[in-house]
Amino acid sequence: MLLALLQANAVVMDVDANCAAIDAAAEAAAAAGAAVLVTPELFPVGYAPRRVRAELDPDSLPGLHAKLATIARRHNIGLVYSLPQLTGQGEWHISATLLDAGGNTLLSYAKVHLFGADERAAFSPAAQPPAVVDFNGIRTSMVICYDVEFPEAVRAAAVAGAELLLVPTALAHGYDDVPQVLLRARALESQLSIAYANHSGVEEGCRFLGGSVIAGPDGRLLAAAGEEPQLLFAELDEGAATRARGDVPYLNERRPDLYRSWGG
């Protein structure tokens, strides 16, 4: 299965421009034969948590979801996108959605670990673990940005059966070790592939790293971006996770009851 990641510079609160960028990327990715396009965290609205919270009308969200579903359907490609989500209790979360090529929602996830004062001022942390679905024959899950830096989040997806983890992110410049070291360690220790799609350029004063990566279940980089906008591709070996787990059975040989007795 061919994966595509959009690394691009969003325009804060210019939904039309950002959706046009997703549309163009989806068209190019589909033409290349990709099964799914992963886009960065909060890309349709731009990454500026306080401003998004202050200016975004939550009544516009259903129409925005519909617009993104139309993009997936028009280009016959799976799509991962991230938007704010307003809960029934009035809490704002950062969410991610996986659509199939028909524009149908397969999976939703809300961010558990919020990063920095701006995110914590604008959003509330969610609490549900990452779920797993079958996407084109591959067991697939999602987390968002800072979540992937916690081994517990990735391991929860792996224990639930995930072989592929899709990660919209908004990682600032200066954190190069996250995609180059930490992401590879997460993929290796939980023996799944990870696709990590970041912003590039500057949005609301934040300079983004770029550096989007796709890592295999052996920790090897399958594709890596620089700082500039680009569409990143990698071919996913559908049997790689199974082989890795057969060679070194980390998941089967865990001792969670013992770990709980250790505390922490």
- What is the rounded CA–CA span in Å between residue 146 and residue 167? 10
Is position 145 annotated as part of the catalytic site?
yes
Largest CA distance in the chain: 52
Is position 67 annotated as part of the catalytic site?
no
Is position 227 annotated as part of the catalytic site?
no
Q: What type of residue sits at position 30?
A: A
- What is the rounded CA–CA span in Å between residue 183 and residue 197? 12
Instruction: Classify strands 36-38 and 2-7 as parallel, antiparallel or unpaired.
Output: parallel
**Active-site residue, from 19, 111, 149, 163:** 111
Provide the β-strand partners of residue 84: 94
Crossing angle of helices 151-159/183-190, nearest 10°? 30
**Active-site residue, from 19, 119, 145, 203:** 145
Instruction: Classify strands 202-203 and 206-207 as parallel, antiparallel or unpaired.
Output: antiparallel
Token reading at 91: 């809490």
Residues recognised as catalytic: 41, 111, 145
